Structure formats: C-alpha cells, structure tokens
Amino acid sequence: MVMLRASVDLLRRVPIFGSLTPDELQRIVNAPDNIVVGYEPGELIVAENDIGNCMFIVLDGAVDVRITAVGGREITIATLKAGEFFGEQALLPGSTGRRNATVRALNACRLFRIAKGNVALGLARAEDTSLSGTPEKATDEDRVRMLLRSVRLFRSLAPRDLERVSDWTETITYDEGDIILREDEEGDSMYIVLDGAAEVFVMDDDGKIVVLARLTQGHYFGEQALLPEGSGKRNANVRADGRTTLVRVAKRYFQLIINHDNKLMLALQAVGDAQRRKIIDAIGRGGGW
C-alpha cells in the first residue's frame, strides 16, 4: 500500500501549488489550519452543493467521488487514491463556491486537508505564471493548460497531451450577448470557460427567456450533444454574459477522452438526464434553474 505524508514533494505534484517556492510549500505543510484527517469506510467527506472551505490530498486509502443522478441515487464518477486530490473546484475564482460532487471514503483513509486561504495562495501564483511564460507577457497556451488541469473531466490526460494542448484546442472570444450555441443545432464541439461567463437559457412557450445557469471559469458545456447514443443536438442555448473567452474542444478529441473512462461516460449521461428534467421543470414554472 502506498503511504504518503504531507510534504513539500507531495504539494509540488499538485498543479495548484506547482508554482510556489519550497519555503512557501513548507509553510503550507506546517500551517496549523492544514491537518491530516482520517475517515472510516463510507464516511462522508464533502457533500454536493455544500459551500467549500478546503481541498484534500489523499495520503493513503481511497475515496469515491459521486454525483446525484435522476431519482436521487448517487453514482460514482471517480475513485481517487494516494497522491490524488479533490475539492479545489469550489475554491476557484469565479466558481459558485459550492461542491460539485459528494465524496465518501471507500475504505479507511487519511487525507491532508488544506484550508481555503492556503489554496488561494497557490491559485494566485498559478494564475500569475499561467498567464505568461514571463511575468510581463501572457500566453494563452499556458493558461489553457492550467485550466484543463483544474477540470476533473480532463484530469486523466497524459502529460504529453497537455504539452501539445494547442494541437487539439482552440481559444475563442465572444462579446456580450453573442450566441455561442443554439438549441437543437448539431453539436460538433464542447467548451470550457477560460475568462468571463456564459449564460445557459431556453425559451418557454410564451417566447420568454428562461435562464438555467450562469457558467464561469472552469465550467464546461456542450458535451451532452457529443455523447455516444445521444441525440447529437444541443439541449439549450448559450450566450456570452459580457466579454467571454472559451476553450473549444472538438468532438473527436472529447470522445477519445470519455471512451477510455466508462465511469465518466455514465456520470455525464446522468448529468444530461438531470439537465433535461430541470429544463422541463424550469419552462413549466416560468422561472430559473
């Protein structure tokens, strides 16, 4: 069994903290707010939709990452083992601040819990360095690489895929109000928000706009139309909410990713079912998501 301890070397392997100096990493290891916590099999670690105030690195044992499917049943979308991490999504700038999944201990495990303030230091430094190869000049490729590292959907990418990220992604900027996707159009790509925000909406029977969600940095959309055995069509409209920059991933590359991860495929299908129910409910109520 792999047994890890909270250390500078451990933190350095986490992309969020990769830009910090050894002294800064050691201060995070030693900070009184950052502690090692233990959980018993099946014990709840974080709950979907709760406000996030920390992230975790698995030291030993394993945890299950779960989302709620239609009917309230939890399904596992990932199993994380020693050296892997979770909980950072709720702490990202521009996020909702809420957990996007439930995590439970798969077996007896130990985790290094890192408080939000220490995560913010790593995020700030990562943003500074990901904006540029030098402190003065920004490079989109580094920013895209850092973004993809933070999105669980792309967590399984090999280092060589991240190194050649410009070969399979495209960065596109939209002005406020620009339509990015239209309902019922054929889907040929998915998108991740790099800067700004995107608004998801549908039209009700009276022709009024019903806003379903506002997506910010790190959120993705458009993937449902790309899933095998799906309709292949967009299930909602998306427009830019202010000047917005997106990372576009073509259908063939997205499908290569999910074809190698059956749990991820099932999870995305469950998300799609939930989205369709919410769309129907939202139109019926005439209210928001």
One fold for both 8-129 and 165-285?
Answer: yes
pTM of the model: 0.59
Q: Determine the pLDDT at residue 137.
A: 44
Higher-pLDDT residue of 259, 180 = 180
Query: Which superfamily does 8-129 belong to?
Result: Jelly Rolls (2.60.120.10)
Residue 130 binned pLDDT confidence (cut-offs 50, 70, 90): very low
**Three-state helix/strand/coil letters over the chain:** CCCCCCCHHHHHCCHHHCCCCHHHHHHHHHCCCCEEEEECCCCEEECCCCECCEEEEEEECEEEEEEECCCCCEEEEEEEECCCEECCHHHCCCCCCECCCEEEECCCEEEEEEEHHHHHHHHHHHHHHHCECCCCCECHHHHHHHHHHHCHHHCCCCHHHHHCHHHCEEEEEECCCCEEECCCCECCEEEEEEECCEEEEEECCCCCEEEEEEECCCCEECCHHHCCCCCCECCCEEEECCCEEEEEEEHHHHHHHHHCCHHHHHHHHHHHHHHHHHHHHHHHHCCCC
Higher-pLDDT residue of 244, 141 = 244
Q: What is the domain partition of the chain in residue ranges?
A: 8-129, 165-285
Residue 73 binned pLDDT confidence (cut-offs 50, 70, 90): low
Tell me the percentage of the chain whose pLDDT exceeds 70.
80
Q: Is pLDDT above 90 for 165?
A: no
Query: Which superfamily does 165-285 belong to?
Result: Jelly Rolls (2.60.120.10)
Mean pLDDT of 44-73: 86
